[in-house]
Amino acid sequence: MRKPLVAGNWKMNGSSESNKALLEGILSKADTFSDIEVALFPPSVYLQQVQSALTGTGLSWGTQNLSQFEKGAYTGEISASMLVDFGCKYVLIGHSERRCLYAELDLDQCLLDRIIAEKYEMAVRAGITPIICIGESPDEHAVGRTEEVVLRLLDTVIAHQGVEGLAHTVLAYEPVWAIGTGRSATPEWAQDVHSFMRQRVAKHDKEIAKNIRILYGGSIKGNNAAPLFLQPDIDGGLVGGGSLDADEFVKICQAAVLKLG
Ligand SMILES: O=C(CO)COP(=O)(O)O
């Protein structure tokens, strides 16, 4: 049985004060979702605050990105060993906002995928579980290229790291058209995509495919989380806006508990 995971991606939001209230609100209800895994991804400057609030609570934390390089003259970057230093269990890799806004070259999609695969390798080597975000853009969605786009990135990762690396990886299907739009994918649509992702992994290794967690991300809220999470191939969620409000996020975590039956 795959343990559901709900990951809260705070993106570039928060302040010491608002984080404190948010963390307290979530932790006050943590006993209602202690059977699933919950991880928070604050902006890196608040990592220490989140680490000290969550240590010993059963919740995990991580960062929204990491460098593909080990150390040195890479201004503004954060290395895998720094994440280890702060007790990170997870790291987000390849989020579409980074691909679009900071991606080195969106025109050269191959180069982009290689960088993401390198970051993935850095995380795995440091013992941090990467959550690799995969999803099609609105244009790709409109012309029916979802499967091709999603599988291409998955293939790149497998080619770089070998399928064994996926044994320590979480995948997240995040259709760009659903992120921050209030327009979540339907449970049926998301299930279909998750299913073909799992089948692709199964072509390489059936056991890993059975165990790998595939999260859905894109406009998850307390009132739509349960039908998504109850789909057989959806193992939890990667939540943006819905993770910034304690009550909303707690509802989402509680929806994931329903999956346990
Ligand atoms: O990008 C996301 C999580 O990484 C999803 O964001 P929203 O939940 O705000 O749509």
Q: How many residues does the chain have?
A: 261
Are 209 and 198 within 8 A, CB to CB?
yes
144 labeled binding residue: no
- The pTM for the full model equals 0.95
Residue nearest to atom 7 of ligand 1 (CA): 240
141 catalytic? Reply is no
The answer to whether 238 touches 172, Cβ cutoff 8 Å, is: yes
Question: What domains does the chain contain, in order, with CATH numbers?
Answer: 5-258 (3.20.20.70)
* ipTM value greater than 0.85: yes
Q: Which residue in the block uniquely carries the two structure tokens 């996926």? A: 166
**Per residue, what are the HEC states of 96-145?**
HHHHHHCCCCCCCHHHHHHHHHHHHHHHHHHCCEEEEEECCCHHHHHCCC
Cα 64 to chain centroid distance, Å, stands at 9
The parts of the chain modelled with pLDDT lower than 70 are 99-112
Active-site position among 37, 97, 136, 174: 174
Quick: pLDDT tens for 62-94: 999 999 999 999 999 999 999 999 999 999 998
Instruction: Give the number of other CB atoms < 10 A from CB of residue 14.
Output: 19
CA distance 64 to 147: 25
- What residues does 90 pair with on adjacent strands? 62, 129
Ligand 1 centroid vs 219 CA: distance in angstroms?
6
Determine whether the annotation assigns residue 180 to a binding site: yes
- Has 174 been annotated as catalytic? yes
According to the model, what pLDDT value does residue 203 have? 96
Q: How far apart are the first and last CA of the chain?
A: 12
